[in-house]
Structure 1
Amino acid sequence: MKFFLWAGFLLFVFSCKQKEETIRPTVQNITESVYAFGKVKSKDQYEVYAPVSGIIQKVYVTDGSAIKKGDVLMTLANDVSALNQENARVATQYQSVEANVDKLNEAQVTIDLASAKRQNDSVLLERQRKLWANDIGSRNDLEQRELAVQNSATALQTAKLRYRQLKKQLEFTDKQAKKTLEISTAVTKDYSVRAIRDGKVYIVNKEPGELVSPQVPIAIIGDADGYILELQVDEYDISKIKQGQKVFITMDAHKGQVFEAVISKIDPLMNERTRSVTIEATFTEQPPYLVPNLSVEGNVLIRAKQDALTIPRNYLIDETYVLLQNGEKRKVSVGLKDYQWAEISSGLGKNDIIKKPVQ
């Protein structure tokens, strides 16, 4: 008796499972879309890094601070760098051309004296030649005067050469000292972390006394009011994505609401680890409250059609056939598809009845 009851129960369950599910196609609007997920980012958001390694001496901003381009966010301890800069400044002052003008003046005086001597020797030579022409004086006296003129001319040329060399050396030393000061000043500036554009400090990750390096972000800065969407699209779907396409966005921070955005950028490189491509979108109308890193989900609108003949996607067989109520397997042409519905372009009428395939 128990055996018959159990067999009857199994037969009932089996017959229920084999009950056919049938439907007629539905005429409705359908859209084809691609799923994307990601987060909200501040416009022009970037991470701040220290130019050099060091210990934070002072932090000048806090979370939420409004900043301008060039504002100092924090400074690092830089005693050695400051001393080097001061040393370079002193050297620049000492080695400048202006500070060594006395040396040039002295060299110019030497030129003037040599020039005067050459002129005087030339006058004496001319006088000696006139005497020699009148048979006055000796040949030796004339040669001595000629030698004196040659020596004074050589001395004048040497004085001028030394002046030019001194001036060139002083100018070189001046430029070298100034360049050293520029380098020292640039190195010292590296110990001041500055904002590269106007915006808002969203978070400061470090405090005075902590060690920082160029590899670790110390703050996040972005636009104070503007926000963008950073979304991930699977590599399977990226070929369908184009700039200017609409994206319908939902987020936990605004439950039950849908926001419209437009794709503004598509990264040219795929992330090998996630096998996805990053795209950016801008809100058509920005929600009233946003902060960076809010999670979002989106559907990128690829195509849309009104009054389309549709069936549930799970009624398709191999994405190409449907099963009629009489058991006939009919080939159909499939148009747009979303996650639940598929458009039937041809092969099926709105009065046909189809069965759900057995999974």
Structure 2
Amino acid sequence: MKVFLYSCSLFLIVACTNQRDNIQPKIQTLTASVYASAMVQPDSMYQVYAVVSGILDQVFVEEGDVVVKDQPLIQITNKTSKLNNDNAQYALELAKDNYSGNAAVLTSLEEDIAMAQLQYKNDSISFFRQKNLWEKHIGSQQDYDTKKLRYELALSSLKRMENNYNSKKNALQVALKQAQIHYNATVVTTNDFLVKSKMNGKVYALFKEPGEIVTTAAPIAAIGSVNQFVIQLLVDEVDIVQIAPQQNVLMTLEAYADRVFKGKVSKIYPKKDERNQTFIVEAVFDQAPKILYPGLSGEANIIISQKKNVLTIPKAYLRADNTVETDAGIVEVETGMQNLEAVEILSGLTKGTTIYKPEP
């Protein structure tokens, strides 16, 4: 009777044990990856800003238009700037006239110098003639002194006029250069009211309508590559140190739920976004779908390591103290690489060992 009870009890224990979840380790390729949220964006996309403020007068493009570099996008108006440009142009023309002599600023001085040169020439001839006579003791001391004084006064007057002319000419030249610089500055400012594309690409967004106020602080359009797209991945700061260029990326998009796209890490931005504690990582498609739109979102896994032909078990079967339960009892194992689902077993188990899932 006792033996029967013992056998029955043993049978119940074995039957209970056999009903628990169990598996055997298997050989597979083990992949470790980092999760990231993903968003598709055009390559080289930039936001267009105005460098001046004003009223949006005209929009020369529409969303979806393909544009080339330096193509006009938007015309901004500002009456103050136009008035400044007109005044600068008038001042430049006046400075040119003054400097070239057309306005008679330098002409009268040139005429005065010509008369002074003639007077100096006459007084010079008269003085040196009188000087020669005086050296031969011909003539009076008074005649000599009078002609010498006239000669010196004529020479002094001529030099004064020439200095005055040169000074005036230099001043007019400086005024002309300043007027030219000021006019060029107003032209540049006026040109700034015509906003042009900085690249060949597509207009993906227009943020302003005609009649609205444009400032330098807010974007007015967004332009990016026509056919080249990149994948922007948001990687948590705890994982960013594991990311490196050229790592493989597997991605799914909401718009293509039944497909997995492959890509590679192309760029890692070093600045952390303090708002969500993530880093931006860019990846490029190995083969992109034919139709893509900016803002398409999805999920991605960045492959950080991969090992082939390794012995693995599900992580759910590994106990906290790196042991597993087998038919022979609790066995300590040595683990290696792991991901969210599986862990590599380096020693302690074989492919044919049956292990049991720990009870809750």
After TM superposition, the structure 1 = structure 2 runs for residues 52-71 of structure 1, keeping only pairs within 5 Å, are 52-71=52-71
Amino acid of the structure 1 residue aligned with 2:189 = V
Unaligned runs of 5+ in 2: 1-14
Question: How far 1:99 moved relative to its partner?
Answer: 4.4
Give, as a single letter, the amino acid of the residue that structure 2 aligns with 1:207: E
Higher deviation after alignment, 82-91 or 136-145: 136-145
Percent sequence identity over aligned pairs: 34
Structure 1 gap segments, 5+ residues each: 1-14
CA distance in structure 2 between the partners assigned to 1:95 and 1:222 by the alignment: 46
The offset of 1:238, in angstroms, is 0.8
Residue 21 of structure 1: aligned partner: 21
Aligned partner of residue 55 in structure 1, secondary structure? strand
Corresponding residue SS for 1:40: strand
Deviations 1:38-87, CA, capped at 9 Å, x for gaps: 21111111112222333211111111111122222112221221121111
2:84 touches 2:186 (CA, 8 Å); kept in 1? Answer: yes
Structure 2: distance between partners of 1:148 and 1:215: 72
User: Which aligned pairs between 1:76-95 and structure 2 lie closer than 5 A?
Assistant: 76-95=76-95
Q: Which amino acid aligns with 2:319?
A: I
1:191 paired with 2:180, answer no
Compare 323-332 and 69-78 and name the one that shifted more. Answer: 323-332
Read off the aligned partner of 1:160 and give its amino acid letter: E
TM superposition score normalised by structure 1: 0.89
Per the alignment, residue 354 of structure 2 pairs with 353
Offset at 1:327? 3.4
Match of 2:157 in 1: 155
Equivalent of 2:223 in 206, 221, 227: 221
2:339 matched to which residue of 1? 338
Aligned-pair Cα RMSD in Å:
2.2
Higher mean displacement: 279-288 or 116-125: 116-125
For 1:288-327, list aligned pairs within 5 A: 288-318=290-320, 320-327=322-329
- Superposed displacement of residue 183, structure 1: 1.9
Distance 2:236 2:136 in 1: 114
What does 1:160-239 align with in structure 2 at a 5 Å threshold? Answer: 160-239=162-241
In the aligned structure 1, how far is the partner of 2:49 from the partner of 2:217? 7
1:295-319 CA-partner distances (Å, limit 9, x unpaired): 0221111111222111111112237
Q: Does the CA contact (< 8 Å) of 2:65 and 2:202 recur in 1?
A: yes
- Deviation for aligned residue 1:98: 5.3
- What are the Cα deviations for residues 117-149 of structure 1, in whole angstroms up to 9, with x where unaligned? 222212111221233244443212111111112
Counterparts of 1:123 and 1:183, CA distance in 2: 54
Per-residue Cα deviation, 1:217-270 (whole angstroms, up to 9, x for no partner): 221111111111111111111111001111112112122212211111101111
Q: Distance in 1 between matches of 2:67 and 2:115?
A: 65
Which secondary structure state, in structure 2, belongs to the residue aligned with residue 257 of structure 1? strand
What CA distance in whole angstroms lies between the structure 1 residues aligned with 2:266 and 2:42? 15
State how far apart, in whole Å, the 1-side matches of 2:237 and 2:99 are: 67
SS in 2 for 1:256: strand
TM-superposed deviation, 1:116: 2.8
Cα displacement (A) at 1:19: 5.3
Deviation by residue 1:146-204 (Cα, 9 ceiling, x = unmatched):
11121111112112211211121111111111111122122222322221111110121
Please state how far the C-alpha of 1:294 moved relative to its aligned partner. 0.4
Contact 2:31 2:306 in 1 (8 A): yes
Q: Which residue in the other structure is 1:4 paired with?
A: none
- Number of equivalences: 344
* Cα distance change on mapping 1:184 and 1:17 into 2, 3 Å: farther
Q: Quick one: structure 1 residues 327 and 174, their matched pair in 2 at CA, closer, same or farther if it must change by over 3 Å?
A: same
Letter matched to residue 116 of structure 2:
A
Gap change, CA 1:18 and 1:350, over 3 Å in 2: closer
Contact 1:75 1:193 in 2 (8 A): yes
Q: TM-score, normalised by structure 2?
A: 0.89
CA distance in 2, matches of 1:148, 1:135: 21
- Report the equivalent of 2:5: none
SS in 1 for 2:280: strand
CA contact (8 A) 2:28 2:310 kept: yes
Q: Please state whether the residue corresponding to 1:225 is helix, strand or coil.
A: coil
Match of 1:41 in 2: 41
Amino acid at match of 1:270: K
Partners of 2:107 and 2:173 in 1: how far apart? 15
Matches of 2:256 and 2:303 in 1, distance apart? 21
**Which amino acid is 2:340 matched to?**
Y
Alpha-carbon distance in 2 for matches of 1:153, 1:18: 130
1:331 Cα deviation after fit: 3.2
- For 1:298 and 1:339, how far apart are their aligned partners in 2? 14
Aligned residue number for residue 8 of structure 1: none
SS of corresponding position for 2:303: strand
1:100-123 deviation line (CA, Å, top 9, x unaligned): 354334433333332332222121
Work out the CA distance in 2 between the residues paired with 1:298 and 1:104: 78
